Structure 1
Amino acid sequence: MQTTALRYFLAVARDGTIAAASARLNVAPSAISRQIANLEAELACLLFERRPRGMVLSQAGELLARHAHQVLASAEQVVTEIRELEGLWRGLVRVACTEAFAIDLVPEAMAAFHTRHPGIRFDLSVLPPGQVTHRVVQGDADLGLTFSLEPSTETAVAYRASLDMVALCAPDHPLAGRGLIGLSDVAAYPVALLPRDTTLRTILDAACAAEAIAIEPALTTNTLSSILPFLRRTRGLTLVSSVALQGQVARGEFRALPIRSHRSLARGIEVQTMRDRRLPRAVQAFLGALLAALPPVQG
């Protein structure tokens, strides 16, 4: 099987139609159709179920998709290793992470790494936690940094830690000088939060229920970047992981306040890689830099 045919096949599997795959790959639809027909003829089976709303992988297609991801990853690995014979002069590092890490931590690590190795390029995708893991599993991201309630069973885990949430507020907030606050203190002010289908809300809502405290958000949004202006212009609070927005807190743009609660406000964060894949040299080097920017794992 040719890698081109496998790449076209995976694009259709991901996008659901030949037209969408054609637009993504900038390849004529007829060329994609021909390659898929060749694969089906070679394997003597249908790889897709053709439905009115698109194409869905058949059972045989699911098997081929798993194989194709490994084949393309291996082919990419060979090319990368050849290019890396001269050291960290060139390379691409693909990172997927949740927004909390994309505002500050990951870009800062990338900037510091690029200063030392200007030939290394980065591709950063900002996604919900589950989609981060999916990108890594599918081989579309070299590294994933995400929140998780349970350890990942789909990826290799290079780092896992359980970190407490903190309350984030403007420097002139009435609570800004407090060393420790409670959930009742949070509830006394306007609160901006992520939606209920996030790990943060799952843990926060359970902790509030344990103390019979009701927090009705003044702002609910699926992007942390939309919450920050709200905090700057109001007496509002939000909750974030203690590792998020460290740079902005260090520069005095926000205050991070530890929270005392009857139930743990900790949640897991993971750095994930694809199982059974030897990482390219540039990715290995950046992984080390990223781990150094995260809190040490407590033994």
Structure 2
Amino acid sequence: MQTTALRYFLAVARDGTIAAASNRLNVAPSAISRQIANLEAELGCPLFERRPRGMVLSQAGELLARHAHQVLLSAEQVVTEIQELEGLRRGLVRIATTEAFAIDLVPGVITAFHARHPGIRFELSTLPPGLVTQRVAQGEADLGLTFSLEPSVDTAVAYRASLDMVALCAPDHPLAVRSLIGLSDLAAYPVALLPRDTTLRTVLDAACAAEGIAIEPVFTSNVLSAILPFVRDTRGLTLMSSIVLQGEGWRDAFRVLPIRSDRSLARGIEVQTMRDRRLPRAVEAFLAALVAALPPSPER
């Protein structure tokens, strides 16, 4: 059973169609179909249920997927151990994170790490919180940085802390001179927010309900980078965790306002790794750099 066939099989399992897997892998659909057909012939059973809207793993496919993840990780581990004979001159770090941390924080850590170890390569994926954890648990990402309302049970947690939510506005906003605002202040201005199925909205909506305050956003987007220009160029506000924007350029573009609330506006953040996996040296070194860039954790 070749690792190439297993890699193509897992791509189809994740993307749901051969066409989608072909686009992501940059491999001809016929090559992917042939490898999957060879696997099914070798195992003597179908690995997918072909449905009108895509391909879903069969029971046998589910079993093979669990095995395939381990096989590919073992193969990668051998390559990694050989590369580690050269120290931190070579290696790959695959990071999955929510968009909030991909705007400024993680790229900043990557930039500083690259200056010290220019031979290390990075892959950064931006995903919803649940998918970050899933990618790490399945070995498709080495590290995950994500928001969480409860500690992860599917991964090992290398770091966990709680971060307060703050409001963000333009420097000339009427509230920009305030050192502290309340939830009722937010309701008096246009607010741009992430959708309701995010951890931010879960925490914010509970706090507003506790105070009997209704905040109806005028702009909702699942892309934080789309919200920031709206806030910068209007009298609008948005909410995010306190460490999302750390660079000097961001400090000039926005004002950060702490929020007073009867109910906690804190969310948990986690740095996650695959359970029971020995991390490659490059990943371990970057993990240490990433944790050092985060606020000290009382849970460590």
Partner-residue secondary structure (3-state), 2:253: coil
Partner-residue secondary structure (3-state), 1:110: helix
**How many angstroms does 1:249 deviate by?**
7.5
**How many angstroms does 1:248 deviate by?**
4.7
| Alignment CA distance shift 1:226-1:19 (3 Å) | closer
**How many angstroms does 1:200 deviate by?**
0.6
Give the aligned partner of residue 81 of structure 1. Answer: 81
| Alignment CA distance shift 1:100-1:20 (3 Å) | closer
Q: Which whole-Å deviations, capped at 9, do the CAs of 1:163-197 have from their partners, x for residues lacking one? A: 11011112222222222211111212221111111
Give the Cα–Cα distance (whole angstroms) in 2 for the partners of residues 248 and 99 of structure 1.
19
User: Which residues in structure 2 correspond to 1:219-234 (within 5 Å)?
Assistant: 219-234=219-234
**How many angstroms does 1:44 deviate by?**
3.0
The answer as to 2:25 corresponding to 1:25 is yes
Letter in 1 for 2:259: I
Give the aligned partner of residue 270 of structure 1. Answer: 270
**How many angstroms does 1:235 deviate by?**
2.0
| Alignment CA distance shift 1:121-1:233 (3 Å) | same
Give the Cα–Cα distance (whole angstroms) in 2 for the partners of residues 196 and 8 of structure 1.
35
Give the Cα–Cα distance (whole angstroms) in 2 for the partners of residues 52 and 172 of structure 1.
53
The answer as to 2:121 corresponding to 1:121 is yes
Give the aligned partner of residue 218 of structure 1. Answer: 218
Give the aligned partner of residue 208 of structure 1. Answer: 208
**How many angstroms does 1:250 deviate by?**
6.9
User: Which residues in structure 2 correspond to 1:50-129 (within 5 Å)?
Assistant: 50-129=50-129
Partner-residue secondary structure (3-state), 1:94: strand
Q: Is the 8 Å Cα contact of residues 249 and 255 (structure 1) preserved in structure 2?
A: no
Gapped regions of structure 1 (runs ≥ 5)? none
| Alignment CA distance shift 1:240-1:24 (3 Å) | closer
Q: Is the 8 Å Cα contact of residues 99 and 126 (structure 1) preserved in structure 2?
A: yes
Give the Cα–Cα distance (whole angstroms) in 2 for the partners of residues 27 and 193 of structure 1.
38
**How many angstroms does 1:220 deviate by?**
1.4
Give the Cα–Cα distance (whole angstroms) in 2 for the partners of residues 46 and 125 of structure 1.
31
Give the Cα–Cα distance (whole angstroms) in 1 for the partners of residues 104 and 20 of structure 2.
33
Give the Cα–Cα distance (whole angstroms) in 2 for the partners of residues 261 and 20 of structure 1.
45
**How many angstroms does 1:291 deviate by?**
0.2
**How many angstroms does 1:32 deviate by?**
3.0
Give the aligned partner of residue 47 of structure 1. Answer: 47
Q: Which whole-Å deviations, capped at 9, do the CAs of 1:227-274 have from their partners, x for residues lacking one? A: 211222222211110111122587432221111111110111111111
Q: TM-score scaled to structure 2, two decimals?
A: 0.94
Give the Cα–Cα distance (whole angstroms) in 2 for the partners of residues 46 and 178 of structure 1.
63
Give the aligned partner of residue 236 of structure 2. Answer: 236
Q: TM-score scaled to structure 1, two decimals?
A: 0.94
More moved, 18-27 vs 239-248? 18-27
Amino-acid identity (%): 84
More moved, 245-254 vs 55-64? 245-254
Give the aligned partner of residue 135 of structure 2. Answer: 135
More moved, 104-113 vs 190-199? 190-199
Letter in 1 for 2:293: A
More moved, 140-149 vs 3-12? 3-12
Q: Is the 8 Å Cα contact of residues 93 and 142 (structure 1) preserved in structure 2?
A: yes
Give the aligned partner of residue 186 of structure 1. Answer: 186
Letter in 2 for 1:21: A
Q: Is the 8 Å Cα contact of residues 207 and 261 (structure 1) preserved in structure 2?
A: yes
Gapped regions of structure 2 (runs ≥ 5)? none
| Alignment CA distance shift 1:244-1:6 (3 Å) | same
Q: Is the 8 Å Cα contact of residues 95 and 144 (structure 1) preserved in structure 2?
A: yes
| Alignment CA distance shift 1:10-1:178 (3 Å) | same
Q: Which whole-Å deviations, capped at 9, do the CAs of 1:34-60 have from their partners, x for residues lacking one? A: 332332333332222223333211111
